[in-house]
Structure 1
Amino acid sequence: MPEMVAVSAVALLRPKWQMARHRMARHQRGDLRRALLVSLLAMGFWGAAFAVALRLLRYFRSAEDIGTLLADKLLAMILLSFASILLLSNTIAALSNFFLARDLDQLAAAPVDSGALYRARLAETALHSSWMVALLLVPIVAAYGVAYRGGLDFAPFAVVVFLPFLVIPSALGSVCTLLLVNVFPARRTRDLLSVITALAVAGLVLLFRAARPEQLARPEGFANFMQFVAALDTPSSPWMPSEWVSEAVVNYLRGKAAWQPLLKLWALAAALVGVGHVLYARGWRRAFSMAQEGANQRPTTRPVRSWFDRALGVLGPLRRELVLKELRVFVRDSTQWSQLVLIGVLLVVYVANVRYLPLNGEGVTTLLRNVIPFLNLALAGFVLASIAARFVFPSVSLEGRALWLLRSSPLPMRELLWAKFWVGAVPLLALALVLVGCTNLLLGVVPFVHVVSLAAITALVFPLTALALGYGAFYPRFDTENAAQIPTSFGGLMFMMTAVGLIGVVASLAGRPAARWIVAGHFGWARDPVDMIWPFAVAASVCTAATVVPLVLARRRLERLERA
């Protein structure tokens, strides 16, 4: 065995940094406009989030007895949600960064110390999995500092507190991934990781439900005021790092000692990093060797293939094979499967938590229960847009070098886009109908609201899919190594902006006249069906245009690439 070379983690990260710097140094047409637009959007988002959080915290401060307790509980719940997201994303990312990356075969053959490799990959995993959560935390933490007059010294204190909060899930996720790869056969690790992800989400949901945050909005459910205050002052999960961060921040803003929770955070982070360093130094090479083992190929039986051929035979041979190609690409990508399981569990949680909404107490009428679904329509549309950004937007980029083979063939680009569109639209449509239908049943809405909301979410599925394909064709990333990084590009940001605007327009055009119809019926006012015709017609026209135009532009874009 070759002698290990003392290579630092910084040296292993230097090629990644040089690639990123080279990519930023390449000036292309429109780069300045993109950077300016992204900066303005980021500042606008931070400003809006800061304003909302600051207003809420100042409202809490107006309640002298329980205001600080409410602020503490709110921060703890936000951090608990972020911690669950960080743990899941780091666990999934660790499998790719530590065992499935393309450059690992060269590093495994080189005399490089496994400890240095662990530190470098841990930093890369933490950065890729935590940057979005860190950006979301900036306006929230700043609002706490301004609302409670933390001063300028609160900024470095927040960095010291939140740094171990981001490191802990990265180290824990990396250790869990190493143990899975070492203990279980490599061909089953990806499937097992999906199951572990689902179980972890379910456990965190049970923990969140045990706290029963909806009680805080209904103080009348407690026997007396002191019991309500005691429930606020009692930590929901005192052994969780998110609770320690909340305790440290609130104690600092109150002028109390914050060194105990801070010491717990850093001690846990150092312990997990140390344990991971020892485990990876001793077991990474064996685990990497096991991770390269090929999965057992299960022969596809002829009846199954014949069933697929008969089911898709109406499409014709060309479109049938293109659809099957898209399905095979999706099935072979383990990161897609892992995140699909995660999304499925989160959607189940989203639907199940609808029944915890305080809509059955005093003062809640049938009118309110029938207006809420139109707000749920916008939320469901945002969920669909997020899923389209994750699975539909990268579909053109995932063709990679195979796109050149398709371009050199007589295959029309419209057929390729047709297959990608329907492979993305059909699952999204089924998910949309289940999501909105189940929430409407739990809310007990009237048939009119049920039909309108289902029609609106159905109309949204097709333009969201088309927009994702259009932006993916105009802003492809053929050289990416990780499909999860494609939606975070400039094109993904532009798609989400356009999708949010489209959802707002359609929800407003479909929801407002339907809500007015419900209000008029509730109060016995006269109702004119003609008043709903033009908003529904405009919404249908917007959805049609937002479906056709992106697909046409995407086809022209791919055809221009073909001629280039």
Structure 2
Amino acid sequence: MSATPDVMRPPVVARHDAEAPLPDPPLLHLLLPKWLTARARTVAGEKGRGARFAVLGFVGLMFWAFIFGVLYRLLTYFRGVEEIGALLAGKLLGLLLLGFTSILLLSNVITALSSFFLAKDLDMLVAAPVDWLRLYGAKLLETIIASSWMVALVAIPMFTAYGIAYRGGWLFPLVATALMLPMFVIPAVIGSAVTLTLVNVFPARRTRDILSVIAVLAAGGIVLLFRLIRPERLARPEGFRSLLDFIAVLRTPTSPLLPSEWVQKATMGYLTGEPDWLSMYVLWTTALAVFVLGAMLHRWLYHTGFSKAQESAQRWVKKGGLLSTLGDTMLKPFGILRRELVLKEIRLFFRDTTQWSQLILLAVLVVVYVYNIKFLPLSGEGITFFLVNVVPFLNLVLAGFVLASIAARFIFPGVSLEGRTLWLLRSSPMAVRDLLWAKFWVGTLPLLALAIAIVGVTDYLLQVSEFMFYVSVGTIALMTFALSGMAIGFGTIFPQFETENAAQIPTSFGGLLYMMASVTLIGGVIVLEARPVYGYLAAQAFQQPIEPTEMIVGFGLAAALCVAATLIPIRVALKRLEAVER
């Protein structure tokens, strides 16, 4: 009898033993897709990538050199001061680390929402046979890297300056690394726990909005509190009643219950030859205890929170309202198309909580800026008419930097935020010029009002002359238009259509080029106006005649530069958008 053909045999079914262990991948295996994706983006042969890396590397080295140079000079001076030099260096380190802790905590609260609940790989990981502790460890490590890399880059030149100034030796980098690791872990665990608790109370999509507002409010409060402390008093011992009061302030811990103070004590103890083992022990044991508590909370609440994270946020569409009423009355002369484009930009801005909530932080920064101007020592013995009027002119540089930063955050991402809807807009019979100019005016007019308010208030506080007041207001107005036009232009030339988070767009290569171009523009305007301003102030101080030709040429070239910086980038942006396929 012939053998049974293979086709007649029953299929071989793999045996599933109930007692066989399920596959449980290690922690690094869970992070392997993230690593492969990051490596693929790095080695991709995109055109111009080498030039971008070269520019970023050069700017990064300059930034490191600047931080190292400033801190090294300060620490060298502190080391030469007997008795209180080490106390001053420790107090400075404590303030810097306190700022790092605040930034890390806020960053981890926001980042944990994406890594633990909104990441695209969670659908597979949560359903896969992965141990809950390894999943928690993988996502926590991902959160730490995503939220701490910038702080780590800034900490490198800072600790380098301390190590070289105080001769820490070749072991100091290892000591600094051992101290910073638990400092990164503690805010990450606390931020993840806060996010986990909020997600179990609110839907994850709505939690993102709530976290954005909370983070901005907290950041604004921290900045305002730090300014009200007035740390510059430490550089003026004569402001204290006695030397004992000054030394008492230096010896008082900045934040005795925070990890930043423990890192400061352990670092300065090692550098001064008196190791503080207790601070290092408290730092590491706190990090381990917080990790255990965070893991337990994750085991109890994560699955419930992840289930709620799949729910979509509720949206309501309202007809009419204040915005539509204002649009119908104020924008009616501009036509229906331009009116609707402007209203679209305003609606999109206020619908995104991550956008409008940062106005709170902006208001706090403006208050701090004006507060600093108010306390400038520009009255009293030795203060001349020339100095009182030169300071407001130089104040235009700082105001220009503030406006450039705001334009980079709110105007630069305008075209990129259109994303896939740009195809729909290009397919319509609408002219691209109308879209681009709508974005320009919606961003420029509020920025112009802020610029005039800042310069006007600071000039009033400084009690400048009428000439300097008009020069300051006119210059800042022209620079505002130029910075806005450059923001629209660079944002269109270097778009980031695949990015949904507006806060990440200004950190791209195009955002870096825009900030470099903005610094060049501000410097050019100040240089062109410096000669006529100096000539006018000198003529007023020494009762000499004013040279009109010098003033016309200087102010005329500055105005021409601002007009060119406004129109040329917008024209280039129009050609770039018109080249996009319909």
Q: Given the alignment of the two structures, is residue 506 of structure 1 paired with residue 528 of structure 2, yes or no?
A: no
> Which residue is 2:263 aligned to?
245
The one of 454, 466, 472 equivalent to 2:473 is 454
Partner residue, 1:74: 92
Q: CA deviation at 1:254?
A: 0.9
Of residues 159-168 and 98-107 in structure 1, the stretch that sits farther from structure 2 once superposed is 98-107
Give the equivalent residue in structure 2 for 1:92.
Answer: 110
Matched, 1:445 2:464: yes
Query: 1:345: which partner in 2?
Result: 364
Cα displacement string for residues 295-331 of structure 1 (whole angstroms, at most 9, x for unaligned residues): 4434424353343233322332222222233233333
Residues 468-510 of structure 1: CA distance to partner in whole angstroms, max 9, x if unpaired?
2222222222223533322222212211211122222223334
Name the structure 2 match of 1:152: 170
- Please state how far the C-alpha of 1:360 moved relative to its aligned partner: 5.5
- Give the aligned partner of residue 38 of structure 2: 20
Per the alignment, do residues 474 and 493 of structure 1 end up closer, same or farther by CA in structure 2, a change over 3 Å counting? same
What is the correspondence of 1:413-428 to structure 2 with a 5 Å cutoff?
413-428=432-447
Write the distance in 1 (CA, Å) between the matches of 2:483 and 2:218.
Answer: 30
- Give me the whole-angstrom Cα distance separating, in 1, the residues matched to 2:191 and 2:216: 14
Using a 3 Å threshold, how does the CA distance of structure 1 residues 280 and 135 change in structure 2: closer, same or farther? same
Greater Cα radius of gyration, structure 1 or 2: 2
Mapped contact 2:30–2:138 kept (Cα < 8 A): yes
Q: Is the contact between residue 412 and residue 488 of structure 2 (CA under 8 Å) also seen in structure 1?
A: yes
Deviation at residue 257 of structure 1 after TM alignment = 0.6
CA contact (8 A) 2:266 2:277 kept: yes
Counterpart of 1:256? 274
Name 1:491's counterpart in structure 2: 510
Structure 1, unaligned stretches of length 5 or more? none
Specify whether residues 265 and 373 from structure 1 end up closer, same or farther in structure 2 by C-alpha distance, changes over 3 A only: farther
Contact 2:110-2:208 at 8 Å conserved across structures:
no
RMSD over aligned Cα, in angstroms? 3.0
Instruction: Determine whether 1:412 maps to 2:431.
Output: yes
Distance 1:158 1:186, change over 3 A: closer
> What is the aligned-residue identity percentage?
54
Give 1:454's aligned amino acid. Answer: V
Out of 312-321 and 188-197, give the one that drifted further: 188-197
Aligned to 2:145: 127
Which among 116, 128, 139 is matched to residue 157 of structure 2?
139
Cα shift readout 1:116-171 (whole Å, capped 9, x = no counterpart):
44333333333232222222222222112111122222122222222222333322
Contact 1:187/1:296 (<8 A) preserved: no
Q: Report the count of equivalent residues.
A: 561
Partner residue of 1:58 out of 76, 80, 88: 76
Superimposed CA distance per residue, residues 185-207 of structure 1 (whole angstroms, 9 cap, x where no aligned partner):
66753453344234423543465
Match of 1:533 in 2: 552
Q: 1:35 aligns with which of 49, 53, 57?
A: 53
- Answer whether contact 2:417 2:500 (CA < 8 A) is retained: no
* SS of the residue 1:492 aligns to: helix
1:334 alignment partner in structure 2:
353
What residue in structure 2 maps to residue 381 of structure 1? Answer: 400
Question: Which structure 2 residue ranges, 5 or more long, are not aligned?
Answer: 1-20
1:415-465 C-alpha deviation (Å, 9 max, x unpaired): 222122222222222222233333334444344333322222222222222
**What TM-score, normalized by structure 2, do the two folds share?**
0.87
Which amino acid in structure 1 is aligned with residue 468 of structure 2? V
User: Which stretch shifts more, 544-553 or 449-458?
Assistant: 449-458
Match for residue 323 of structure 1 among 317, 342, 349: 342
In 2: Cα distance, 1:363 partner to 1:11 partner: 68
How is 1:161-560 mapped onto 2 (pairs within 5 angstroms)?
Answer: 161-184=179-202, 189-205=207-223, 207-209=225-227, 211-304=229-322, 305-359=324-378, 368-510=387-529, 513-514=532-533, 517-518=536-537, 521-522=540-541, 527-560=546-579
1:248-298 deviation digits (Å, cap 9, x = unpaired): 222221111132222333233333333322222221232233344444434
Contact 2:140 2:189 in 1 (8 A): yes
Whole-Å separation in 2 of the counterparts to 1:187 and 1:22: 30
Amino acid at match of 1:434: A
Question: Structure 1 CA distance, aligned partners of 2:140 and 2:578?
Answer: 42
Whole-angstrom CA distance in 1 between matches of 2:316 and 2:505: 31
Cα distance in 2 for residues equivalent to 1:173 and 1:487: 25
- Contact (CA 8 Å) 1:114, 1:281: kept in 2 or not? yes
Partner of 2:62: 44
Name the TM-score, length of structure 1 as normaliser: 0.89
Q: Contact 1:194–1:342 at 8 Å: present in 2 too? A: no
The alpha-carbon distance between structure 1 residues 402 and 26, as it changes in their structure 2 partners (threshold 3 A), is same
Paired residues of 2:535 and 2:547 also in contact (CA < 8 A): no
2: CA distance, partners of 1:92 / 1:358? 40
**Residues 430/281 of structure 1: CA separation in 2 closer, same or farther (3 Å cut):** farther
Report the CA distance between 1:541 and its aligned residue: 1.3
Q: Distance in 2 between matches of 1:365 and 1:218?
A: 23
- State whether residues 115 and 277 of structure 1, in contact with CA within 8 Å, keep that contact through their aligned partners in structure 2: yes
Deviation digits for residues 2-38 of structure 1, max 9, x if unmatched? x997344433322222222111222122222222222
- Seen in structure 2, the aligned counterparts of structure 1 residues 395 and 209 have a Cα distance that, compared at 3 Å, is closer
SS in 2 for 1:464: helix
CA distance in 1, matches of 2:123, 2:380: 61
Q: Distance in 1 between matches of 2:102 and 2:375?
A: 20
Q: Is the 8 A contact 1:190 1:338 kept in 2?
A: no
1:506–1:17 Cα change, 3 Å = same
- Separation in 2, partners of 1:542, 1:160: 51
Specify the code of the residue in structure 1 equivalent to 2:523.
G
Q: Provide Cα deviations, 1:71-118, integer angstroms capped at 9, x if missing partner.
A: 222222222223323322332333333334444455455555554443
Alignment-mate amino acid for residue 330 of structure 2? A
User: In structure 2, do the counterparts of structure 1 residues 110 and 323 end up closer, same or farther at CA, with 3 Å as the change threshold?
Assistant: farther
| Counterparts in 2 of 1:35 and 1:451: CA distance versus 1, 3 Å | same
Tell me if structure 2 keeps the 8 A contact 1:94–1:173: yes
Residues 27-55 of structure 1, C-alpha deviations (whole Å, 9 max, x = no match): 12222222222222222222233223222
For 2:158 and 2:58, locate their aligned partners in 1 and report how far apart those are by CA, in whole Å. 19
Q: Distance in 1 between matches of 2:360 and 2:128?
A: 36
- Measure, in 2, the Cα distance between the counterparts of 1:110 and 1:220: 66
The structure-2 alpha-carbon separation of the partners of 1:32 and 1:332, relative to structure 1 and needing over 3 Å to count, comes to: same
Contact 2:490 2:510 in 1 (8 A): yes
